[in-house]
Amino acid sequence: MAVLTASRQQAMPWLRSLHTETETARWIAEILLRRSDVRVAVDEGSCIVGFMALGAGVLEQLYAAPDRQGQGIGTALLAVAKNEADDGLSLYTFVRNARACRFYERHGFIATEWSDGSRNEEGEPDVRYEWRRGAAPGKPA
């Protein structure tokens, strides 16, 4: 929960917090960990420094601790997700999260759909990205 909360606050200070820490902890324990394949990255001291959550062909969550960003943690987790994806992956991120958009585009994801935010609880415009195994970088499959 600490990585998720700190990463979201650092990357998206404009994003309003809709849930208390207790609600977020409950969501992680009762929903995320039960319905998704969650993988963590740990440092030498066994502290969690990043995590991802995978659903069927969907990268649901990908976060690295703010003080560990730019060290390859997200790239390593994304490589695991791609390796395990049968055909490809899709994900959503907020349009205003330009750093995340650049990250996914650098790693071969293509923006395929935009929304006005009516489909997420934050009400924030988002973009769907897709990556397909064997697709040429920057070209939809």
Half-sphere exposure of 35 (CA within 13 A, CB side): 9
Tokens encoding 130: 């897709």
End-to-end CA distance of the chain: 35
- Ordered by where they begin, the domains of the chain are 2-132 (3.40.630.30)
d(CA 59, CA 90): 6
With vertex at residue 70, the alpha carbon angle to CA 69 and CA 74, rounded to the nearest 5 degrees, is 70
pLDDT digits (tens), the chain, 141 positions: 899 999 999 999 898 889 999 999 999 999 999 999 999 999 999 999 999 999 999 999 999 999 999 999 999 999 999 999 988 999 999 999 999 999 999 999 999 999 999 999 999 999 999 999 877 655 554
- DSSP helix, strand, coil percent of the chain (3-state; round to 5): 35, 30, 35
The total of other beta-carbon atoms located within 10 Å of residue 84's CB is 11
